[in-house]
Structure 1
Amino acid sequence: MTNNITPRRNFLGMSVALATAAFILPVPAMADAVDFSGKTIEFVIPFGVGGGSDTWARFNAPFLSKHLPGQPTVVVKNQPGGGSITGASQFASRAKPDGLSILGTSGSTQFPYLLNDPRVKYDYKDWKVVLAAPTGGVAYISSSFGVKSLADLGKLKGERLVYGSQGATSLDLVPLLGFRLLGLDVQHVFGMKSRGEGRLAFERGEANIDYQTTSAYLKSSLPIVQEGKAVPLFSWGATDDDGKLIRDPNFPELPHIGEAIEMVTGKKPSGTEWEAFKSFLIAGFPAQKLLVLPKGTPDNIVEAYRAAVRKMKLDPEYQAAKVEALGGYEQLTDKAGESLFKEGTTIDPKARDWVRALLEKEYNARF
């Protein structure tokens, strides 16, 4: 499996014009031929019940049901195993291109693909993207260090930080590489079953640096900050239409990770390590969740799904609930979704080799 380099474009910070265009694109007549009346659609989530991907799928499923032609029943099927590799691989080999099977992937599905993990038996190039769902996140540190903001990070020189990690090749690869670029001495304690478990370790004092995705941060970590027990340092950021890293609109007061690195090191980040980090940052956050159809799916079925997404995004009920459910990030389809899909599933081979070598040498990862 070879991942080609693709020019970086837009994902989370899509322009209003582009987002609007996604709504007003005409639906081809061929989409009218699709009718799922009386059918049941299996929405495969290769993770357990209750996690972020499961929550995302269960929020979107009834709206897809409502707006797909024929209003089929959309049932979420959890198929955990292998950090999502098992369910995604089975989908690739078994799903029929009839529109009755869809798959929701996450950064945890993208990462082993980007790393050329031999366990991966799926190829994103075979799939048709229907929906791309960005997210963000905030890194924070224990207030016990006397750090008031990112500007005080120099106080941590000589300090050993502890981070509760789900694994070196999991979504926690982003903080692993990000903390390294910041020059922080961080011990990554592997074995956490979720980011929620990592947060609990932080609250118990077993870890002293952590990050949570936007929705989890606002719900569970912000209270810790407000109590004075934690200090937010930076967000993972967003991007504009040109692929430039910008501040997360949910946290405009916080520097994004690129700004953070420049503030701490005095230099704009660059080089192979930075390029490698950016690839996984994109796959893990701006392109974190992707809804795809299997190989060989006819164009009229793909368009029927994209039309349903356009309609559900305009649904008043969806509009009223999406901020709390999705963290305020725009769900993308059509050309915007395709652009994000490509960004989140490609990497420069040189950058990939650098990451693999680092993980094998310093974290005993095996591929």
Structure 2
Amino acid sequence: MSIFKTTRRVAVGLVAAAAATFAIKAEAAGHGIDLEGKTVEWIIPFSETGGSAKWANFYAPLLSEALPGQPTVVVKFMPGAGSTKGANFFQEQQYNDGTLIFGSSGSTQFPFLLGDPRVRYNYSDWNVVLASGTGGVAYLTPELAAKMDGMNAAPLQGEDFIYGNQGATRLDLVPTLAWEMLGLNVESVMGIKGRGDGRLMFERGEANIDYQTSSSYLSGVTPLVEAGTAVPMMTWGALDDAGNIVRDPTFPDIPTFKEVCEATEGCETSGEKWDAWKAFFIAGFPAQKMVFLPAGASNDAIVTYTKAFEDVKARADFAEISGKRLGKYPQMTGDAAKTAMESATNVSAEAKDFIVNWLQEKYGVSLN
């Protein structure tokens, strides 16, 4: 049985749910919460340089306008321990007055999926009110990019690469496994606090291969591409309604990893390694970032935040401004967000076992 069969089924449900329109409104007069004069603290468990920071900073002022009473929404960065520090802190909080929310990312979801011993949080205890899809783009120095033969990465197999890695169990396992499948010799410099720090390593010449999620690529890497100091290599792709990997709608001119793999001798788009890669890609990107209220949140609070994000999405200018800052991906609320969370926090036992063994062999990381 394909080890992403279950994950693929969930992902197809995610795509279908995201296609629907959910008009979430306060159920009756008096339902909902009023946040006038209050400050909403939005915890992001990463540094201020990465994609999660750009995502939260994009949404924060729009959310402030949409919430009842127009509270101040402040993004608080709490990096550490591969993002588990901030997530563990949030797990310990109980709902009070609706002034605390949390922003998760794939790099928070993966340690949870893999049973990382640092994890003391459980997504089932939280209340999702927004799920944001995204993509990712890998890029090279111009000198290395010039050695590729179209989409064929085989000419790069004799080169030495340096990559700034946030951590073995983080979202970085998607690019590092992809590069290994292509036969590339990529040495990871471990422990950077955010993907923005990886980009800075690339800019300083300390790394020659990197990847960024779409929001960070649009703002931080596109200027490098325009200046001729970086060249896109591939995206991770997107999912169509049947669960197939297709070109990323934000970067339709850049080939997907699947296309590059198919063009590179020795890289296979079938078998247990490919299945594991695809399972974690699905868990990490189509619903990569999510907003949660803490355990014990009232239905009034959930309705209030859900409606606020619905109102943000309904803005006449939302498609334009979000496309420029975040890329062209689903922004999901209501049942679609719940389906997205299921996809992002579940992988098959076979996919998990493969990745756990791979992490042990590649990095000496023991999760058993």
TM-superposed deviation, 1:346 = 0.7
Alignment correspondent of 1:35: 33
The alignment partner of 2:331 has SS state of coil
Counterpart check, 1:257 vs 2:232: no
In 2, are the aligned partners of 1:150 and 1:234 still within 8 Å (CA)?
no
Specify the code of the residue in structure 2 equivalent to 1:249. P
Specify the code of the residue in structure 2 equivalent to 1:75. V
Deviates more, 1:228-237 or 1:336-345: 228-237
For structure 2, list consecutive stretches of 5 or more residues without a partner in the other structure: none
Specify the code of the residue in structure 2 equivalent to 1:125. S
In 2, are the aligned partners of 1:65 and 1:71 still within 8 Å (CA)?
yes
The alignment partner of 1:311 has SS state of helix
Alignment correspondent of 1:8: 10
Alignment correspondent of 2:166: 166
TM-score by length of 1: 0.86
Cα distance in 2, alignment partners of residues 53 and 233 from structure 1: 22
Cα distance in 2, alignment partners of residues 74 and 226 from structure 1: 34
Specify the code of the residue in structure 2 equivalent to 1:333. T
Specify the code of the residue in structure 1 equivalent to 2:25. V
The alignment partner of 2:171 has SS state of coil
The alignment partner of 1:102 has SS state of strand
In 2, are the aligned partners of 1:149 and 1:231 still within 8 Å (CA)?
no
Specify the code of the residue in structure 2 equivalent to 1:307. K
Cα distance change on mapping 1:334 and 1:217 into 2, 3 Å: same
Matches within 5 A, 1:284-299: 284-299=284-299
Q: Percent identity?
A: 45
In 1, are the aligned partners of 2:93 and 2:295 still within 8 Å (CA)?
no
Alignment correspondent of 1:275: 275
The alignment partner of 2:92 has SS state of helix
Cα distance in 2, alignment partners of residues 160 and 79 from structure 1: 34
Counterpart check, 1:187 vs 2:187: yes
Alignment correspondent of 1:101: 100
Alignment correspondent of 2:44: 45
Alignment correspondent of 1:364: 364
**RMSD over equivalenced CA pairs, Å:** 2.8
Alignment correspondent of 1:300: 300
Deviates more, 1:129-138 or 1:193-202: 193-202
In 2, are the aligned partners of 1:238 and 1:245 still within 8 Å (CA)?
yes
Specify the code of the residue in structure 2 equivalent to 1:34. G
Matches within 5 A, 1:329-340: 329-340=329-340
The alignment partner of 1:139 has SS state of strand
Deviations 1:61-87 (A, max 9, x none): 232222223433333333332222122
TM-superposed deviation, 1:340 = 1.7
Alignment correspondent of 1:213: 213
Alignment correspondent of 2:81: 82
Cα distance in 1, alignment partners of residues 95 and 13 from structure 2: 29
Alignment correspondent of 2:327: 327
Cα distance in 2, alignment partners of residues 29 and 78 from structure 1: 34
Specify the code of the residue in structure 1 equivalent to 2:168. A
Specify the code of the residue in structure 1 equivalent to 2:245. L
The alignment partner of 1:119 has SS state of coil
Specify the code of the residue in structure 2 equivalent to 1:48. S
The alignment partner of 1:201 has SS state of helix
Matches within 5 A, 1:17-28: 18-19=18-19, 21-22=21-22, 25=23, 27=25
Cα distance change on mapping 1:212 and 1:115 into 2, 3 Å: same
TM-superposed deviation, 1:20 = 5.3
Cα distance in 2, alignment partners of residues 87 and 181 from structure 1: 32
Cα distance in 2, alignment partners of residues 297 and 281 from structure 1: 30
The alignment partner of 1:290 has SS state of strand
Cα distance change on mapping 1:27 and 1:211 into 2, 3 Å: same
For structure 1, list consecutive stretches of 5 or more residues without a partner in the other structure: none
Cα distance in 2, alignment partners of residues 249 and 138 from structure 1: 12
In 2, are the aligned partners of 1:10 and 1:336 still within 8 Å (CA)?
no
Cα distance in 1, alignment partners of residues 29 and 189 from structure 2: 50
In 1, are the aligned partners of 2:50 and 2:216 still within 8 Å (CA)?
no
Cα distance in 2, alignment partners of residues 310 and 76 from structure 1: 20
The alignment partner of 2:143 has SS state of helix
Specify the code of the residue in structure 2 equivalent to 1:257. F
Alignment correspondent of 1:351: 351
